[in-house]
Amino acid sequence: EAQVTQNPRYLITVTGKKLTVTCSQNMNHEYMSWYRQDPGLGLRQIYYSMNVEVTDKGDVPEGYKVSRKEKRNFPLILESPSPNQTSLYFCASRLVHGGGTDTQYFGPGTRLTVL
């Protein structure tokens, strides 16, 4: 089954404790992206990757890091989480960048609470 998986699905942590949210897709997609969703703000793009070793900032990259060492994985790293990073996070992937009618697949989401 074609899917995007995220782990963990729920996480409660404390300020300053480094964490990683994993994202993996089994569709051989080139493009992957991370979003955060906050009430009243919709979804905002954090980082995206056009292919292996190619990443770029979205609209709200501060406080986050990503890496794309393999095509299927795109982890989101919070080196020193703060309470304002409490949010619902989605990973997404897409087959072809730059055109076409391909759809974007979203993972199930990770609800993060930083105390």
Partner 1 sequence: ELKVEQNPLFLSMQEGKNYTIYCNYSTTSDRLYWYRQDPGKSLESLFVLLSNGAVKQEGRLMASLDTKARLSTLHITAAVHDLSATYFCAVDANFGNEKLTFGTGTRLTIIP
Whether residue 60 contacts residue 78, with contact meaning beta carbons closer than 8 Å, is answered with no
Pairing of strands 10-13, 110-114: parallel
The whole-angstrom separation of Cα 70 and Cα 15 is: 29
Nearest-approach distance from CB 108 to partner 1, in angstroms:
5
Name which position in 16, 18, 108, 115 contacts partner 1 (CB under 8 A).
108
Pairwise CA distance, residues 22 & 44, whole Å:
18
The single residue among 8, 41, 79, 84 that binds partner 1, judged by CB under 8 A, is 41
The answer to whether residue 45 forms part of the interface with partner 1 (CB under 8 A) is yes
33 binds partner 1 per the rule CB under 8 A: yes
Nearer to partner 1, 19 or 50 (CB): 50
List of residues contacting partner 1 (CB under 8 A): 31, 33, 35, 40-45, 48, 50, 56, 58-59, 90, 92, 94, 97-99, 101-109
